[in-house]
């Protein structure tokens, strides 16, 4: 690896595991930003889900880059949309049930953005998509499913973890696994090679 260090500007154990599994040497440092305070005015102004995700990814990368200017910082964020509705993590299991009822029998989109920053400047950014088709779900199934997974349903914006029992909600998925988890890793690795940060 080149002289500069690599930092993942995230507290997400899922993103950290993706990078660890890929054999990357990096440090994980959470960004000190208020995501909702950034999102709210963007959504009011009519920003697209892609734009919101990219704005948050940039904000995370730039905040950590300001504290570690010599490092290459990776910021990432994901939004989830169905038509004009942008979803947020459900605060309660009741809200998680409402999420799942609204997704039943429909195709929603995950928008995963990533931004690289160095010395307080964004040097690269990218957005990847995955289209997720939920099978028709009965109210009874949703209740039983949430009873099994419990508070884990509150950890993700869609109220599911694809790597766990959440896979039972779907009938079709278009998109790669890394984009779904929240870090478009193939694009990230390609750019790290281009920058000489990892062995190409």
CATH number of 113's domain: 3.90.950.10
* pLDDT higher than threshold 90 for residue 4: no
Residue 106, pLDDT above cutoff 90: yes
> Do the domain assignments include residue 200?
no
Residue 138 is assigned to a structural domain of this protein: yes
The answer to the question of residue 1 being in a domain is no
- What residue numbers bound the domain in which 132 lies? 6-194
The predicted-structure confidence for 163-197, as pLDDT tens digits, reads as follows: 889 999 999 999 999 999 889 999 999 999 999 99
Check 77, 84, 131, 176 and give the catalytic one: 77
Strand partners, 72: 6, 118
How many structural domains is the chain composed of?
1
Instruction: Establish if 199 belongs to a structural domain.
Output: no
- pTM of structure: 0.89
d(CA 43, CA 154): 22
Establish if 180 belongs to a structural domain: yes
131 catalytically annotated: no
**67-92 pLDDT, tens digit each:** 999 999 999 999 999 988 889 889 99
The DSSP secondary-structure symbol of 135 reads P
pLDDT at 158: 92
On whether residue 152 sits in a domain, the answer given is yes
Q: CA 75, CA 26: separation in Å to the nearest integer?
A: 13
């Amino acid at each position: 690896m080149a002289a500069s260090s690599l930092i993942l500007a995230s507290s997400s154990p899922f993103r950290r595991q993706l990078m660890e599994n890929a054999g990357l040497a990096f440090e994980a440092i959470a960004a000190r930003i208020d995501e909702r305070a950034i999102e709210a005015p963007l959504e009011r102004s009519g920003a697209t889900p892609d734009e919101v995700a990219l704005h948050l990814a940039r904000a995370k990368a730039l905040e950590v880059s300001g504290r570690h200017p010599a490092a290459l910082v990776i910021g990432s964020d994901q939004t989830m949309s169905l038509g004009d509705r942008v979803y947020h993590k459900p605060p309660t299991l009741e809200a998680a049930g409402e999420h799942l009822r609204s997704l039943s029998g429909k195709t929603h989109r995950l928008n995963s953005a990533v931004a690289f920053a160095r010395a307080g400047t964004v040097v690269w950014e990218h957005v990847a998509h995955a289209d997720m088709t939920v099978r028709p779900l009965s109210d009874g199934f949703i209740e039983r499913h949430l009873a099994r997974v419990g508070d884990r349903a509150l950890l993700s914006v869609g109220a599911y973890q694809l790597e766990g029992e959440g896979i039972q909600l779907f009938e079709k998925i278009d998109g790669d696994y890394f984009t779904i988890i929240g870090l478009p890793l193939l694009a990230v690795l390609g750019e790290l090679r281009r920058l000489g940060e990892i062995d190409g």
